[in-house]
Amino acid sequence: MWTNWSGGQECRPSATVRPLDEAGVRAAVRRATRRGMRVRPVGAGHSFSPLAVTNDVLLDLSALTGLVGVSGQRVRVRAGTTLAGLNVALAERGLALATLADVDTPTVAGAVATGTHGSTARIGSLSAQITALRMVQGEGTAVEITGPELDAARTSLGALGVITEVELAVVGALVLRLTQSRVPLDEVLTPDYLDAHRWAEFSVFPYAEDALARWADQVTDQPDPRTRANTVRTFVERRVVRAAAVGGGVALGRTVPRLVPTINRAATVLTGSGSVTDLAHRVLVARPVVRWEESEWALPREALADGVRELLAAIKERELDVGFPLEVRVGPAETGWLHPAYGRPTGWVAVHTAIGTDPEPLSRLAADVLGAHGGRPHWGKRHPWTAEQVAHAYPKLADFRAVRDRYDPDRVFTNPHLAALLD
């Protein structure tokens, strides 16, 4: 049996294949098509939606790792490489990704296929950094995708084929000074905060008055090897204490729901303030301490503040026992045809529920409130959307379907979840 990271998705594939190279991927796809079976690629399983769920062939790409080549400020990397592995490999060469997700366990292919993003108003997601990619299509042959069709493949949900290599634009090594502090919610919802830094986000607990703000800017300082370890350790310990408080608070809140508002306000106070200077991937990436289910929505940027306020008010009105904070990020308009930020500057709002808690009440509320503000779901998170809603929200869907018809006319790379979204 296969389960995802949270344990919320599971399946019993007829076969699990772990190819060692692209030739192995081609062979697995051809073998499956001869037998009339479907194929779903899987990376780290960090997505919360059923994109990888299948009763047919599960294609495990975990052996396709490492850099293929580096040329100037472009790198080619195998699809199963984790973001953590890529960050380290780039740092060894004095390079970095221009934007970073807040977790680094996903694979490169999984991150780009679902539109995984960071939080910077001016720099696009990892999908936006793609300059070319290789993919095994439905007939079992490999193709190199560049040009206009790249915008179909940037965020493809694994519906076009199996990505084997990705070429990305990168930048020189980034040293950031990251600061965190408690800030009134009204202040962090203004463009003055979210647009003022290279990277900025905030989280806010339901029933709490302040937000937990984190922001970072590029500096010319270099990390001091004599003090960096202690500084980073102290900063991380603060985050671990807060994460542990969240986990313990969730457990206590399930036992005594009336304590949730008090627990949330206490968790906000625990965070404190501080700053650290280091390479970007060392200060921006979080290590999960507890596991959760997640739903995330991409709102038009101008609707972000109202959407956050209305969702917080709706949680309070319904007296939902929400022990995790809402996480709020931003990003620019994207060109990927199915990227949730396609065509518009975007504000991202994520909600979480603890493992062992029914995620549907909060997930459904977020879908209703944020969807009413024009929100589109993050493909890797829980959502209730159907093909009708996708067609209404994505003006290039017909173009995507035409590309899909060419690369996978027999729908080898599908499952019931994708069929409900795209067919």
> Contact, 25 vs 386, CB < 8 A?
no
The structure's pTM equals: 0.91
Q: Is 355 exposed, middle or buried (0-12, 13-18, 19+ CB in 10 A)?
A: middle
In order of 58, 62, 157, 324, 412, the CA distances from 20 in angstroms are: 14, 9, 22, 39, 21
Write down the pLDDT at residue 303: 98
- List the chain domain ranges: 176-377
DSSP per-residue codes, 364-383:
HHHHHHHHTTT-EE-TTS--
Q: Is 19 exposed, middle or buried (0-12, 13-18, 19+ CB in 10 A)?
A: buried
- The one-letter code for the residue type at 285 is V
DSSP E strand stretches across 245-345? 274-279, 292-300, 326-331
Return the structure tokens found at 174.
């980034």
CA torsion angle 285 290 325 190 (round to 10) = 0
Q: Reduced to 3 states, what is the DSSP secondary structure of residue 3?
A: strand
Q: How confident is the model at residue 33 (pLDDT cuts 50, 70, 90)?
A: very high
Write down the pLDDT at residue 256: 47
State the DSSP H helix or E strand holding residue 95, giving kind and residue range, or none if neither: strand 95-96
> Contact, 216 vs 284, CB < 8 A?
yes
CA torsion angle 227 232 234 235 (round to 10) = 140
Q: Which residue has the tokens 């035409």?
A: 402
Q: How far apart are CA 204 and CA 72, in angstroms?
A: 40
Return the structure tokens found at 241.
């204490």
> Contact, 175 vs 206, CB < 8 A?
no
Q: Reduced to 3 states, what is the DSSP secondary structure of residue 82?
A: strand
State the DSSP H helix or E strand holding residue 203, giving kind and residue range, or none if neither: strand 199-204
> Contact, 66 vs 77, CB < 8 A?
yes
Write down the pLDDT at residue 227: 43
Q: How far apart are CA 389 and CA 364, in angstroms?
A: 15
Q: Which residue has the tokens 């209404």?
A: 392
Backbone CA torsion sign across 104, 109, 114, 115: positive
Mean pLDDT of 318-332: 94
Q: How confident is the model at residue 272 (pLDDT cuts 50, 70, 90)?
A: low
Mean pLDDT of 356-368: 96
CATH code reported for the domain at 176-377: 3.40.462.10
Write down the pLDDT at residue 242: 45
Return the structure tokens found at 23.
């030739």
Q: What is the pLDDT of residues 136-173, one digit of tens each?
A: 999 999 999 999 999 999 999 999 999 999 999 999 99
Q: Reduced to 3 states, what is the DSSP secondary structure of residue 4?
A: coil
In order of 52, 314, 326, 345, the CA distances from 380 in angstroms are: 10, 24, 17, 20
* pLDDT above 60 for 250: no
Q: How many CB atoms lie within 10 A of CB 131?
A: 13
Q: How far apart are CA 332 and CA 8, in angstroms?
A: 31
Q: How confident is the model at residue 258 (pLDDT cuts 50, 70, 90)?
A: low
Q: Is 52 exposed, middle or buried (0-12, 13-18, 19+ CB in 10 A)?
A: buried
Q: How many CB atoms lie within 10 A of CB 328?
A: 26
Q: How far apart are CA 279 and CA 177, in angstroms?
A: 9
Q: How far apart are CA 263 and CA 253, in angstroms?
A: 8
Q: State the Rg of the chain over Cα.
A: 21
User: At 125, phi and psi to the nearest 5?
Assistant: -70, 180
Q: What is the pLDDT of residues 74-120, one digit of tens each?
A: 999 999 999 999 999 999 999 999 999 989 999 999 999 999 999 99
Cβ neighbours of residue 369 closer than 8 Å, sequence gap 6 or more:
307, 310, 311, 314
Return the structure tokens found at 157.
């949900």
Backbone CA torsion sign across 40, 138, 66, 337: negative
DSSP per-residue codes, 134-192:
EEE-TTS-EEEE-GGGHHHHTT-TT-S-EEEEEEEE-EE--EEEEEEEEEEHHHHTSHH
Write down the pLDDT at residue 289: 77
